[in-house]
Amino acid sequence: MFHAQVLTLFPEFFSSPLACSIPSRAIAAGQARVDCIQIRDFATDKHRSVDDAPYGGGPGMLMKPEPVVAAIREARRRIPSTHVVMLTPSGRPFTQEVALEYAALDSITLLCGRYEGFDERICADVDAQLSLGDYVLSGGEPAALSVLDAVIRLLPGVLGSSESAVLDSFTEDGILDWPHYTRPEIFEGRSVPKVLLSGNHQAIEAWRKSESQARSKARLRAVLSHS
Ligand code: SAM
């Protein structure tokens, strides 16, 4: 079973999303397990503080090293083989390739920051740094949740054959999914492409492939024109 741990100041953030749809099914079936560890439980002063002001001045507060590192060590004590990942905008970009890598592991531990982020010395205690994208979230929790969702759906047996991940975007050579249509045949004057109604499976497959390629090229062009 894939065992994830989340180091967070807000364990309640995860309850509702993990109780829905595919993650909840995987957890109920014993294919995945997610445990939250409250970082504040590792604070040592009487105020249970987890943040402090930055040396050198500047706005905001930082996650203090002592409680965060103690929480990471507790996560490693519970699962010695776990891969500890710090969520930070400075990290490796999260992609489907990373999701596949994580789905092949026995355990990951996701470290969620708050405030202005982490004291830099905490980095020495993690195995990887991961970014959800080039924007700034208020905390690591939405990033951790996205990672959990993307990884859990890739675990063996989690998706039924009707929802297989093999055809998902980015799975084959980074190519995007093709456009999909369901009933009705005409919606607000827009028709389903005729080829999909033809019953000609070879033609349908060729159309899907060419649509996927066209979409992937269009997106690449859009990315390059903004870089
Ligand atoms: N001062 C930091 C910076 O500019 O890089 C941002 C800190 S952010 C307000 C607080 C926390 O949210 C971070 O420590 C990190 O855990 C999480 N976070 C924010 N944006 C993220 C992103 N794009 N990917 C992963 N985690 C993110």
Nearest CA to ligand 1 atom 21: 89
- Whether domain 175-225 has CATH 1.10.300.10: no
Encode pLDDT of 175-199 as tens digits.
Answer: 999 999 999 999 999 999 999 999 9
User: Is the CB of residue 91 less than 8 Å from the CB of residue 123?
Assistant: no
Nearest CA to ligand 1 atom 9: 138
DSSP conformation class of 116: T
DSSP per-residue string spanning 40-86: GGG--STT---EEPPTT--SS-EE-HHHHHHHHHHHHHH-TT-EEEE
* 212 phi and psi angles, rounded to 5 deg: -60, -45
CATH superfamily placement of domain 2-152: SPOUT methyltransferase, trefoil knot domain (3.40.1280.10)
Encode pLDDT of 148-165 as tens digits.
Answer: 999 999 999 999 876 678
Considering the chain, what is the average pLDDT of its residues? 96
Residue 162 is predicted with a pLDDT of 60
Residue 166 is predicted with a pLDDT of 73
| CA 85 to ligand 1 centroid distance, Å | 13
| Catalytic residue list | 89, 116, 153, 168
Rounding to the nearest 10 degrees, give the CA dihedral for residues 22, 24, 27, 32: 50
| CA 111 to ligand 1 centroid distance, Å | 11
Place of tokens 């675990």: 155
- pLDDT grade for 55, boundaries at 50, 70 and 90: very high
- pLDDT grade for 167, boundaries at 50, 70 and 90: confident
Which residue ranges make up each domain of the chain?
A: 2-152, 175-225
Nearest CA to ligand 1 atom 12: 139
| CA 116 to ligand 1 centroid distance, Å | 7
Residue 164 is predicted with a pLDDT of 72
Ligand 1 atom showing the smallest separation from residue 132 Cα: 24
| CA 117 to ligand 1 centroid distance, Å | 6
User: Is the CB of residue 37 less than 8 Å from the CB of residue 3?
Assistant: no
Rounding to the nearest 10 degrees, give the CA dihedral for residues 172, 156, 162, 173: 0
Residue to substitute in 84, 119, 136, 138 for testing ligand 1 pocket (most ligand atoms within 8 angstroms of CB) = 136
Token pair for 95: 């992609």
Strand (E) or helix (H) holding 3 = strand 2-8
Ligand 1 pocket, residues with Cβ under 6 angstroms:
87-90, 112-114, 116-118, 131-133, 135-140, 143
Task: Give the mean model confidence (pLDDT) for residues 18-27.
Answer: 97
Whole-angstrom Cα Rg for the chain: 22
Distance of CA 180 to the CA centre of its chain: 24
Give the CA distances from residue 139 to residues 66, 142, 143, in Å, rounded to whole numbers and listed in that order: 19, 7, 8
What distance in Å separates the CA atoms of residue 183 and residue 37, rounded to the nearest whole number? 45
Give residues with Cβ within 8 angstroms of 45, minimum separation 6.
Answer: none
Percent of the chain with pLDDT over 90: 91
Q: Is the pLDDT of residue 172 over 80?
A: no
Percent of the chain with pLDDT over 70: 99
Rounding to the nearest 10 degrees, give the CA dihedral for residues 191, 195, 197, 200: 180
Encode pLDDT of 115-155 as tens digits.
Answer: 999 999 999 999 999 999 999 999 999 999 999 999 999 99
Q: Is the pLDDT of residue 210 over 80?
A: yes
